[in-house]
Amino acid sequence: MKVYFIGAGPGDPELITIKGARLIGEATVVIYAGSLVPERVLEHASDDAVIMNSASMNLDEVCAVYNEYRDSDITIARVHTGDPSIYGAIGEQIAYLREEGIPFQVIPGVSSFQASAAVLEQELTLPSVSQSVILSRISGRTPTPEKEDLALLAKAQATMILFLSIGMAKEVEEKLLKEYPPKTPVAIVYRASWPDQKVFRGTLDELAKITEDNSLTRQALIFVGEVLNNEFELSKLYDASFTHGYRKGNA
Ligand code: SAH
């Protein structure tokens, strides 16, 4: 038996990897993570696959499924939204499988932050503006380590993308305003790559208002940072005078 953790992508059923889709098709059991994994991704599953929604299962129940099949020669597809490495709760499942000596493999997926950047038609790392991307969340029911308080992470004024935080937009705004200027551009992407996707833009001092006016409470990412203004110096990589491993510059 082998467990495959598969990134289902952000919503659009075409944004799953070929490998992920194939492994779902080959699996005897498919466990998918509730509301955020598109039903259409499950169309890859074979007709006789056992399909389970993990939304109503706790960790022990999921692990009990792994255990039940451990001596068989089947595969289990454990399908997570976006990329499994980002807030995917695979850590605890991996710890269990390692302890039990059950083989597994992680198949990456397109994260919602990547899909959202595509929707925004945005390079997140513009030369001279920001060369770092911080993926984080506000401390909520799952507390974040104190050292990662948003006001501290904000010090670099880098490009910041917040998961699981839209329901606490007021707190996000307050913390980030301690470091970012009030007119720093922000974007909110709701349900990136789904048919009902929406984009909202504004400035940091309007973040809570935009969220409230549009009743955004879930399934959205918050982008913050000067890069969203798209004012920057040209990348050296394509500069005609810049020599690198694949091209000789003309300077
Ligand atoms: N592993 C996932 C994230 C899971 S945490 C990934 O890589 O994308 C769930 C959070 O992800 C949501 O609260 C929301 O902030 C974000 N999210 C997931 N899918 C989204 C989508 N299609 N559009 C915008 N945000 C999304």
Task: Spell out the domain ranges in the chain.
Answer: 2-110, 113-229
Ligand 1: which of 80, 113, 163 to mutate, judged by most atoms within 8 Å of the beta carbon?
Answer: 163
Cβ atoms of 222 and 172 closer than 8 Å: yes
| Helix-strand-coil split of the chain, %, nearest 5 | 35, 20, 45
- Specify whether domain 2-110 bears CATH 2.40.160.20: no
Ligand 1 nearest atom to the CA of residue 137, by list position: 15
Quick one: pLDDT band at residue 234, thresholds 50, 70, 90? confident
E strand or H helix that includes residue 113: helix 112-119
- What pLDDT was estimated at residue 59? 92
Calpha distance 155→157 (Å, rounded): 5
Running DSSP on this structure, what letter comes out for residue 145? P
Percentage of the chain beyond pLDDT 90 is 84
Q: At 50, which amino acid appears? A: V
Binding-site residues, ligand 1, Cβ < 6 A = 10-11, 36, 80-83, 86-88, 111-112, 116, 163-164, 189, 191-194, 219-221
**The predicted structure's pLDDT at residue 251:** 67
Please state the atom number of ligand 1 nearest to the C-alpha of residue 11: 22
pLDDT digits (tens, 9 = 90+) for 183-224: 999 999 999 999 999 999 999 999 999 999 999 999 999 999
Measured distance CA(11)–CA(230) in Å, rounded:
27
Q: Per-residue pLDDT for 144 more than 70?
A: yes
Parallel/antiparallel/unpaired status of strands 75-80 and 29-32: parallel
The answer to whether domain 113-229 has CATH 3.30.950.10 is yes
Q: In 110-146, which positions are buried (b, 16+ CB within 10 angstroms) versus exposed (e)?
A: bbbbbbbbebbebebebeebbeebbebbbbeeeeeee
Helix (H) or strand (E) holding 68: helix 59-68
Give the mean pLDDT of the chain.
94
Say yes or no: do domains 2-110 and 113-229 share a fold. Answer: no
pLDDT at 180: 98
Query: Is the confidence at residue 240, as pLDDT, over 80?
Result: no
Band (pLDDT 50/70/90 cuts) for residue 245 is confident
Position 188 scores a pLDDT of: 98
Q: For residues 203 and 199, what is the distance between their CA atoms, to the nearest angstrom?
A: 13
pLDDT (tens digit per residue) in 34-58: 777 878 888 899 999 999 999 889 9
Query: How many Cα atoms within 13 Å fall on the side-chain side of residue 89?
Result: 13
pLDDT given at position 41:
86
Q: Identify which of 32, 81, 85, 142 to mutate to test ligand 1's pocket (most ligand atoms within 8 A of the CB).
A: 81
pLDDT at residue 165 greater than cutoff 90: yes
Q: Whose CA is nearest to atom 13 of ligand 1?
A: 164
Token duo for residue 57: 């299962």
**Contact at 8 Å (CB) between 25 and 44?**
yes
Burial class (CB in 10 A: 0-12, 13-18, 19+), 62: buried
Q: What is the pLDDT of residues 88-125, one digit of tens each?
A: 999 999 999 999 999 999 999 999 999 999 999 999 99
